[in-house]
A = this chain, B = another copy of it.
Amino acid sequence: MLSAMASGDPPGGGRVSIGDVARLAGVSPITVSRVANSSDAVRPATRDKVLAAMNKLGYAPNSAARALRSGSFHEIGVVVHRLDRTGESRTVEGVVNAARAEGYTISLVDVRSPTSAEVTAAAQRLRHQAIDGLIIVRAEAATAATLALPAGLPVVVSDSRLIGRHPAVSSDQAGGIRDAVEHLLALGHRTVHHAAGPTDSTPAMVREEVWRRLLTDAGRPVPEVMRGDWTLRSGYELGLRVDPAATAVLCANDEMAAGMIRALHERGRRVPDDVSVVGFDDIAVAEYLWPPLTTIRQDFSRIGAELVRMLLDQVRGQGEPVERQRLVPTELVVRASTASPR
């Protein structure tokens, strides 16, 4: 428990400063600073006196002063779009936890749309606030040409068009799609239809290109791609008009897969007896959809941790060359929404 109130008479409206502690302990402020920073150049008896005074007064170092002196806030800025989506919130959670382990806190900004203008404004707001580096989680629609980040600010990005321009962390999209397509072809499907994500999203485009290339390489017909926007609703609408001859559909994410399955139900098509469906992400409900969804799991907390690691490499290594891109493996999780065609 903290003591309720300082018993001395600290100036400045109640906030206890290093000088107050020094006075009570009968030492200089420098010694208090040493104790606060766990320097070992303090005699144990002195240390104890100071610690007792700190406790008595409820002293907490003023981090504004500390940051001003040291030049670092020990804070990382995070720009995120749509925090209510599984991938985004789990990635941010991973970032928060990894940052904490390194002694950093997170300053979070949510942009309304993932465009260059919004992200630029968010980055400047954060810069204004004072951060040591910036993590951009999926600025899908931002491009390197139009994004104007403060000069000299270390940056790491997650999946986006900014890869190449800035160090980046991504799921192994290609590997995931390959696993899914091979799984479906191995089950005996002649080809695989694709309910893709929006064209302004890098992960969506990567998934689509890999799907197309795999079918081509395997000598299978490539059905016309169906275009969605990540939402359940878009998956549902695509499901209402999916080719009646389709026996397997690979969806760009789990939400679209859930909408697809619901539409197929309404059309009287059984999953997986008539149509196999595969998602991407492995969100919490995937296992409890009816039927339980076969999907490609992304390791979001690992992505968050790698984002922090690569950012702090830059922050600490100032000037050193930095790893440009790190791929985090995906995993195919086979459940009951896929089966051999009848």
Please give the residue numbers on chain A whose beta carbons come within 8 Å of chain B beta carbons, in ascending order. 1-5, 14-15, 58, 60-65, 67-68, 71, 73-75, 78, 83-84, 86, 89-90, 92-93, 96-97, 100, 105-110, 124-130, 148-152, 232, 236, 255, 258-259, 261-262, 265, 284-285, 287-288, 290
Contacts and interface: CB of A to CB of B under 8 A. Distances in A.
Contacts of A258: 285, 288
A27 B9 CA distance: 40
Contacts of A288: 232, 236, 258-259, 262
A232 B83 contact: no
A100 B126 CA distance: 11
Contacts of A90: 83-84
Contacts of A130: 62-64
Given A107-B107, A290-B290, 12 more contacts: A2-B148, A2-B151, A58-B150, A63-B128, A67-B67, A83-B83, A83-B92, A83-B96, A89-B89, A232-B285, A262-B290, A265-B290
Contact of A105 (B3, B109, B149): B109
Contacts of A3: 151
Given A126-B105, A232-B288, A288-B259, A83 B74 contact: no
Contact of A108 (B14, B96, B259): B96
Among A62, A109, A129, A149, the one with the most B-chain Cβ atoms within 10 Å of its Cβ is: A129
A151 B106 contact: no
Given A84-B86, A89-B89, A110-B93, A151 B68 contact: no
30 contacts: A2-B150, A3-B151, A4-B151, A62-B130, A63-B128, A64-B64, A64-B73, A68-B68, A74-B129, A75-B107, A75-B129, A83-B93, A84-B86, A84-B89, A84-B90, A89-B89, A96-B108, A96-B109, A105-B108, A105-B126, A105-B129, A106-B107, A107-B108, A232-B284, A236-B288, A255-B284, A258-B288, A259-B288, A262-B290, A290-B290
